[in-house]
């Protein structure tokens, strides 16, 4: 059972994002639109969130459920490489920070020098235009139309009307925040 802070943060998150809670309230899913002015802008992403028992003193584990082509996201598992989630996490942060600041910054400003997906990192470093074209193709394949994650009915209008986000760079590194998606994704779809 989540602690009071976790319940408060989940409640606040539900006011700003579509949230799908699984049988365990420590594991839930958040839907986001890709940040505008990025190759991810037209995509809809479903992210898994696992809260540790001692949240907020330990960071949540975040992973993309639908495939994402990005240097700092493992293409197979959806694991996220974001320094602030592990090495620089503080209880002052909350779930709103994760989804309004940290994830949009990750998508807007990939860090190819410390990748989880070395192929995406090489592509970004060698030819940014080709990389962005590959990303847009992957977005069409995994995050748009019939391949996009299915939103709970009560949130469909909310996401269509939700504003896209713009991000400013954040000092990035690679602290791997992982969740084994295979254990939970089959229960959701």
- DSSP single-letter state for residue 144: S
Question: Residue 158: its pLDDT value, please?
Answer: 53
Whether 33 contacts 26, CB under 8 Å: no
Spatial separation of the C-alpha atoms in residues 64 and 103, rounded to whole Å:
10
Of 31, 78, 85, 44, the C-alpha closest to 61 is 85
Torsional class of 110: left (φ above 0), alpha (ψ -120 to 50), beta (otherwise) = beta
pTM of the model: 0.81
Q: Which residues contact 179 (CB under 8 A, 6 or more apart)?
A: 48, 49, 50, 61, 62, 63, 78, 79
Is the model's pLDDT at 3 over the cut of 80?
Answer: yes
Residues designated catalytic? 81
pLDDT tens track for 66-93: 999 999 999 999 999 888 887 899 999 9
Q: What's the angle, vertex CA 105, arms to CA 8 and CA 47, rounded to 5?
A: 55
The whole-number average pLDDT for the span 25-43 is 94
Which has the minimum average pLDDT: 67-71, 149-153, 158-162? 158-162
Q: Which two tokens stand for residue 134?
A: 């590959």
Q: 10 Å Cβ neighbour count for 136?
A: 18
Of 50, 37, 46, the C-alpha closest to 10 is 50
The whole-number average pLDDT for the span 146-163 is 69
Percentage of residues in the chain with pLDDT exceeding 70? 80
Whether 173 contacts 83, CB under 8 Å: yes
Percentage of residues in the chain with pLDDT exceeding 90? 67
Question: Residue 165: its pLDDT value, please?
Answer: 54
Q: Which two tokens stand for residue 184?
A: 């939970």
Question: Residue 160: its pLDDT value, please?
Answer: 57
Question: Residue 24: its pLDDT value, please?
Answer: 72
Q: In the predicted model, what is the mean pLDDT of the chain? A: 84
Task: Provide the β-strand partners of residue 28.
Answer: 21, 49
The whole-number average pLDDT for the span 137-157 is 85
Looking at 19-108, which runs of residues are DSSP E strands? 19-21, 27-33, 44-50, 61-64, 80-81
Its CATH class, for the domain covering 4-188, is alpha beta
């Amino acid at each position: 059972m989540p602690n009071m802070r976790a319940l408060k943060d989940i409640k606040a998150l539900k006011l700003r994002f579509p949230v799908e809670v699984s049988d365990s309230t420590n594991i839930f899913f958040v839907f986001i639109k890709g940040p505008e002015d990025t190759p991810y802008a037209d995509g809809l992403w479903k992210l898994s969130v696992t809260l540790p028992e001692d949240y907020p003193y330990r960071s949540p584990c975040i992973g993309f459920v639908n495939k994402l082509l990005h240097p700092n996201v493992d293409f197979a598992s959806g694991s996220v490489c974001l320094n602030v989630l592990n090495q620089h996490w503080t209880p002052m942060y909350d779930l709103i920070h994760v989804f309004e600041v940290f994830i949009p910054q990750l998508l807007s400003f990939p860090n190819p020098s410390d990748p989880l997906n070395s192929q995406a990192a090489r592509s970004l470093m060698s030819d940014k235009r080709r990389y962005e074209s590959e990303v847009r193709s992957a977005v069409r394949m995994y995050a748009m139309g019939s391949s996009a994650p299915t939103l709970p009915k009560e949130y469909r209008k909310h996401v269509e009307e939700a504003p896209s986000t713009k991000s400013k760079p954040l000092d990035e590194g690679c602290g791997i925040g992982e969740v084994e998606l295979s254990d939970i994704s089959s229960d959701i779809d």
